[in-house]
Amino acid sequence: MKKLWIRFREFRWTRPFWGGLFVMAGGAIIGWLPLGPVTDIIHAGIGGIGGYLCSLILIVTGLCLWFRPKLRYGAAIVAVIISLISFPVSNLGGFVVGMMAGIIGGCLAFGWSLPADDTDEGAEQLTAPTGSGSFTERV
């Protein structure tokens, strides 16, 4: 049990965990509110389908934030834009609660930075040429 907790803590610290959680919660709220009988959703038209589409995109974006933390900038921007789009498309963005959760999660994910160990991974020092030879020969 202790090793499981340690693994979860490492998982949580090495990615924008809270940002992804808020984005997925916002997506769940936006998707849960238009639930109803299928005939009502078909009659609702683009509003019913738009709510499900916004919800699906936010949940996938939250999972992307968890499992692909290096894509956090793009995923965070997509989360904020889709959350704002959900306001006119789906019941005022899940009655504003889902929209705000998505926006807050996107902002948290955008502001998160990689741990210091991972930022220098694979980076090479490129310097200007000095002496003989061209720059491309040394790289």
pLDDT higher for 33 or 81? 81
pTM of the model: 0.74
d(CA 75, CA 69): 9
pLDDT surpassing 60 at residue 15:
yes
pLDDT surpassing 70 at residue 16:
yes
pLDDT surpassing 60 at residue 135:
no
Q: What would the DSSP string read from start to end of the chain?
A: -HHHHHHHHHHHHTTTHHHHHHHHHHHHHHHHTT---HHHHHHHTHHHHHHHHHHHHHHHHHHHHHH-GGGHHHHHHHHHHHHHHHHHHTHHHHHTHHHHHHHHHHHHHHH----HHHHTTT--------SSS-HHHH-
Band (pLDDT 50/70/90 cuts) for residue 26 is very high
Tokens 């997925």 correspond to 24
Nearest 5°: the CA angle 98, 101, 80 is 95
Would you kindly state where each structural domain of the chain is located, as residue ranges? 17-112
Average pLDDT of the chain, as a whole number = 80
- What percent of the chain has pLDDT above 90? 41
